[in-house]
């Protein structure tokens, strides 16, 4: 696939992503052995990661999605988070694994953890594909991290910029946004 001109470099190619997703699946299998879990994918960015990760999990897993909008000006967060679509699965007493595309400031993930905790789950953990430690503004416990990245704007493998690039098989950084 030809990459658009505004792409700076490939951060993680499809093979590296697949290998890491397989590793994360094995860690999750060990952690949830004998009990299973409810995986909650955060739309839209985590749709591909969720689909790939759950197929690497062998313990019983129920899957649901939540859609959150985190409003942006250019590539920066405004801080306003809106719950666009809630989960349908009953959370109370369940072991919940939130599946995120990226933790940037951490505000979106913090919002979702708080929203789920109100519903009294047995446990809540977070698995994120990407994590930008330099940008983090609030404390979020991250049990599983695919890759740590610098303060660049990443797209591909589900992540977008202005609705574009979600379908790229690799994760790449954008020149115009960094
Ligand atoms: P946070 O609330 O600042 O952690 O931002 C989380 C959301 O911001 C993610 O779910 C993404 O939708 C978006 N986001 C943050 N950084 C990036 C990036 O580098 N590429 C694409 N989306 C991003």
Q: Examine the residue annotation and report whether 104 is marked as an active-site residue of this protein.
A: yes
Residue of 104, 139, 151, 160 with catalytic role: 104
pLDDT for 6 beyond 70: yes
Q: Kindly report the pTM of this predicted structure.
A: 0.93
CA of 52 to the centre of ligand 1 (A): 20
Write the residue with the smallest CA distance to atom 10 of ligand 1: 102
Q: Which residues of 30-53 are buried (b: 16+ CB within 10 A; e: fewer)?
A: ebbeeeebbbbbbbbbbbbbbebb
Q: In the chain, which ranges are E strands?
A: 7-12, 37-43, 61-73, 76-85, 95-103, 123-131, 144-148, 154-155, 171-174
The residue with greater pLDDT, 4 or 172, is 172
- Check which CATH number belongs to the domain holding 34 and give it: 3.40.50.2020
Domain count, the chain: 1
Query: Counting atoms of ligand 1 from 1, which one is nearest the CA of 105?
Result: 3
Write the residue with the smallest CA distance to atom 12 of ligand 1: 45
Q: Is 103 in the pocket of ligand 1 (CB under 6 A)?
A: yes
- pLDDT band, very low/low/confident/very high, at 107 (cuts 50, 70, 90): very high
**Averaged pLDDT of the chain:** 93
Q: Is there a domain that residue 166 lies in?
A: no
* Domain membership of residue 105 as a residue range: 14-152
Q: Is there a domain that residue 176 lies in?
A: no
Q: Is 105 in the pocket of ligand 1 (CB under 6 A)?
A: yes
Q: Is there a domain that residue 95 lies in?
A: yes
Q: Is there a domain that residue 140 lies in?
A: yes
């Amino acid at each position: 696939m030809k990459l658009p001109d505004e792409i700076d470099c490939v951060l993680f190619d499809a093979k590296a992503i697949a290998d890491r997703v397989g590793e994360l699946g094995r860690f999750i299998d060990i952690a949830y052995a004998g009990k299973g879990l409810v995986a909650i994918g955060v739309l839209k960015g985590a749709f591909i990661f969720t689909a790939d990760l759950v197929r690497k999990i062998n313990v019983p897993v129920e899957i649901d999605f939540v859609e959150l909008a985190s409003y942006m000006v250019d590539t920066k967060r405004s801080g306003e988070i809106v719950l666009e679509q809630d989960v349908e699965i009953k959370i109370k007493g369940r072991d919940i694994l939130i599946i995120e595309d990226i933790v940037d400031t951490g505000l979106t993930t913090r919002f979702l953890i708080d929203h789920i905790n109100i519903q009294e789950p047995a446990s809540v953990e977070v698995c994120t594909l990407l994590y930008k430690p330099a940008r983090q503004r609030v404390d979020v416990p991250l049990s599983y991290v695919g890759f740590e990245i610098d303060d660049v704007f990443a797209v591909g493998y589900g992540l977008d910029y202005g609705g574009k690039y979600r379908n790229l098989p690799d994760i790449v950084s954008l020149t115009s946004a960094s």
